[in-house]
Amino acid sequence: MAPFKHDKQKQRYEVEVAPGYWAHLDYLDHNGALTITHTFVPDELRGQGCGKILMETVLTDVDAQNLNVRPVCSYAVVYLERHAQWQHLLAK
């Protein structure tokens, strides 16, 4: 898992997706169901798999904390549709 920071007050995960480059995922916490509202990867790293690193790092942490997610951000929606191994995290 990539190095990451989780700022619960700002409701943001930051993940180091390449040396010196950080991507982030913003969410709204609704009683343990994290509504993913935005993902960001630095422009110079787009198309290089950094979004996948971001999502896998965050979802691994979400899973470890027994939380759920509600994807609203278009990238998160598509990622979760394509990766069945994370379906158990979807909020009901």
> Domain residues for 64?
4-89
- What is the spatial distance between Cα 50 and Cα 31, in angstroms, rounded to a whole number? 28
- For residue 8, the tally of other CB atoms under 10 A from its CB is 9
Which positions ≥6 away from 15 have C-beta within 8 Å? 2, 3, 4, 22, 23, 24, 25, 53, 54, 57, 58
Q: What is the pLDDT of residue 2?
A: 86
Q: What torsion, rounded to 10 degrees, do the Cα atoms 80, 25, 11, 32 define?
A: 10
CATH number, position 10: 3.40.630.30
Q: 61-77, pLDDT tens digit by residue?
A: 999 999 999 999 999 99
- In contact, 12 and 24? CB cutoff 8 Å: yes
Looking at the structure of the chain, the number of domains it has is 1
Q: pLDDT for 8-43, tens place per residue? A: 999 999 999 999 999 999 999 999 899 999 999 999
pTM over 0.75: yes
